[in-house]
Structure 1
């Protein structure tokens, strides 16, 4: 794709309604300004518009590996699995180099609010006990810098993470690169995303889980509508450069999932290597692994004390959060959105 011409961005951006804006602002301590993009109306931070065309036109390499998902679907788990298999099980580097350095997060710059660095710093200084202005400024500048120019200088193989749907990624990525997409029951995604939104001090979600659920299933959280996101990847599941995984399958039978990813990447594993890798990836060990828990952000005071980046790693835990009304609402929402596809989420016993 490197020799292809630069194309104009194919999608229109448009504003959310005043009502949607007021609902979102009411529940976030430090809200972002949102836009919708494309015919499916994906919700993105306004700042995404500044680099969307560069992402769309990003030159890819044949040994690039993407790990993509709707967020809180098991992305970090999958990233570590993919990186270790593709890097010949280099545990020493995996444990000593943070995952956010081993992967380029394609739309990471969207996580800095639209008021820019000054507004971000102000929000964090008000909410954080560990605020260090100099260290925080360095981190925020790094977080808020579009990654497309940096990717050009990254050595191969490049590992790229994204929560963008297929249509907003570099064009025709599967013509050139490999991709692992991980999907998860949207009810569990909602629970995990709720805690994630409370985790980051600069978002500071103030509402109840029920209020969060209405934002999520009402397409008022980033990258929603959720089902359109998953279905775009599902439609590509038979492409030889796509591996579509379910979080529930990793949770239920990790060794089998490890083997599927190894086969996809053309890597051979003996039984001992597979056992060691599964032990490394076990939720018990994963929660203690500082390289995958974004500890560098916690040290800087960006995380709330009572929330964790890697939580329970549980599949099917959503009933603990849903009342009867929400359960019925979710059942109908899921049924309506799966009506036109053979996509089905694995059942959890």
Structure 2
């Protein structure tokens, strides 16, 4: 089968060995006599899968025992509302670095006041604000670690002060090392680096779970999901299984340290190519805020961008069209994207620029 290089921002490319393992076990998972797709979430087989997935995530990320790991549904967008529902009593601090930050702020305003200590909106989100001080007199602070639409990423996270710090890591979780204990809540829609669409990973301090709002509907209470080990309702069984396979794949590849080295290598190659052809390819993110997950750039005209994307598709480079809200070109190169793909793409970029300059 001729597989394309899938540069989509999400759902995105997954590790081929993971897909092959899932394929081999699709009809009969470890002699269970059924597929994981058919498996009851109350069965012993799935209970084992769930615990193995949690253990694999804890090991590969470095999640301490005083943090709970939950698997929820509704994507990160549901967490935009659940977090303020559970924790916002008066005011929360939100750093505004892109479209997903704005959506999180919009949801939070339904439940309380929002303090925005820093924003890059006036510069069309082309950078991550530097040297910011997070407010202390808030119920919590919130940041978005990577911005898929505008191609920016925190290179260094702000330090948590006296207020809890929450982070949306939907597009770069598992891509680099970070200190879980710098945050009180880490959450991520899995469909970038961690798995397929349909499951949300949530890592939360256990003592914080005890402080959540218990007057909410059951499905919106973190404590209920924690008490029921992510099985209060039917969880996304197959997606959780794949998250586990991906965490184990990362460990087998050398851990997040090795994955991070590869991501840095891919980013270095692509950005160096862009910069060497800066009269033709104009990056939209400032250099000190460039993302290793999503590289965004413009060409001299929208017509050339259209030609670039169409010709790239004919050469098996899929998903390069920028987000509909900003246009341009976007190269999403998550963990499963091999260096070979970036090498071939940069050669294509050089040829296209030479022919159209």
TM over 0.5: no
Question: Higher strand fraction: Structure 1 or Structure 2?
Answer: 2
- Larger radius of gyration, structure 1 or 2? 2
Q: TM-score, with normalisation over the residues of structure 1? A: 0.25
Q: TM-score, with normalisation over the residues of structure 2? A: 0.25
Question: Higher helix fraction: Structure 1 or Structure 2?
Answer: 1
